[in-house]
Amino acid sequence: MSPSFIVLTDFFTVYPQALAYTTGLAAAQQARVVLLHVCQDGLHGPGERGTPRTEWNKRQKQREFMQLTTGQPSPTELVVSEEFFPDAVQQTVLAHQGQLLVLGQPGAAEQPVEIAAGTAQQLLAMALCPVLVVPNAAEGNAPVAAVPRRLLLAVDGAPFDLHPLPDHVRQLLASPQATLDAVFIPDGKPARPDAITVLSTIRLDDAVPAMPLSRLHVHHAPDVAAGILAEAKRLRADMLVVVARQHSLVGSLFHSSITARLLEQSPIPVLALPARD
């Protein structure tokens, strides 16, 4: 069985942008796509706002999800689980060699954007594998269904210890067809690290080449999240990479509130890498 990218539904919806982006990425990396539909607990959806979720509704949605698995550029299958959300995700990752968990960002008229960000943080806390959040096409620059060519890693100048990267995520970061830059937002403190020190903290994986100093961009901004997004726009990045620590420090880039804002507001896909610290 080949590795897979797992796209999560939110009870009743599969966001087309997330599915199209994931199947395109999987096709380029010769991976499968698993569409995971959790029938209870799961992501927030109409069922949690009091809408009756009858057996007919469940079967109807499963038929619709099954139709989405046909005609995709990479092998795509549907997995339906009655388990609670964390258990369903963990079982699916283990059973299908999951390399990446994918969430679609809802449109403003559908659900609050905080839902996907909150779910992503819950998944990152489980540290099963990296999490990719794909924005809604209507919310900004629509990402294309292909391998990203300009990746931007947001760093805060402090060392981080990542969980081992799955093979396909490592290939994505180390692709010779792509560039990987980093952005550092100084916090204004007198003792902030210099560029050389910041560069020494960037250790993604042995397979990822060391980053030259020219690829590190220092962007001064009063708002960290806004500054990162501004630099991503300036560099025309097509994927933002962030590190999610298990124990975040207030004021750090990897503090959960800043990570959540990037997940909510980024107009390009955000790849979040779980770290031990």
Structural domain that includes position 126: 4-139
Torsion of CA 140, 106, 61, 22, to 10 degrees: 50
Position 155 in a domain: yes
**pLDDT tier, 66 (very low <50, low <70, confident <90, very high otherwise):** confident
Pair 181, 130 in one domain: no
Query: Is a pLDDT exceeding 90 seen at residue 68?
Result: no
Pair 81, 201 in one domain: no
What is the arithmetic mean of pLDDT over 20-26?
A: 93
Overall domain count for the chain: 2
What is the arithmetic mean of pLDDT over 86-114?
A: 83
Position 38 in a domain: yes
The CATH code of the domain that includes 241 is 3.40.50.620
Pair 110, 205 in one domain: no
**pLDDT tier, 241 (very low <50, low <70, confident <90, very high otherwise):** very high
- Of the listed ranges 5-14, 28-37, 249-258, the least confidently predicted one is 249-258
Pair 10, 135 in one domain: yes
Position 126 in a domain: yes
Question: Residue 254's pLDDT is what?
Answer: 53
Query: Is a pLDDT exceeding 80 seen at residue 265?
Result: yes
Position 144 in a domain: no
Pair 126, 159 in one domain: no
Pair 135, 10 in one domain: yes
Query: Is a pLDDT exceeding 80 seen at residue 237?
Result: yes
* Structure token digits, residue 273: 């890498």
Query: Is a pLDDT exceeding 70 seen at residue 248?
Result: no
Answer with the residue of higher pLDDT: 181 or 116.
Answer: 181
Question: Residue 189's pLDDT is what?
Answer: 59
Position 145 in a domain: no
Tell me which of 120, 139, 158 is where a domain ends: 139
Pair 171, 122 in one domain: no
Pair 123, 159 in one domain: no
Query: Is a pLDDT exceeding 70 seen at residue 73?
Result: yes
Position 170 in a domain: yes
Position 124 in a domain: yes
Query: Is a pLDDT exceeding 60 seen at residue 249?
Result: no
Question: Residue 26's pLDDT is what?
Answer: 94
**How many other CB atoms sit within 10 Å of the CB of residue 233?**
14
Whole-number average pLDDT of the chain: 81
Pair 118, 201 in one domain: no
What is the arithmetic mean of pLDDT over 195-223?
A: 86
Question: Residue 23's pLDDT is what?
Answer: 93
Q: Whole-model pTM?
A: 0.86
Query: Is a pLDDT exceeding 60 seen at residue 116?
Result: yes
Question: Residue 74's pLDDT is what?
Answer: 93
Query: Is a pLDDT exceeding 80 seen at residue 143?
Result: no
Answer with the residue of higher pLDDT: 187 or 264.
Answer: 264
Question: Residue 13's pLDDT is what?
Answer: 63
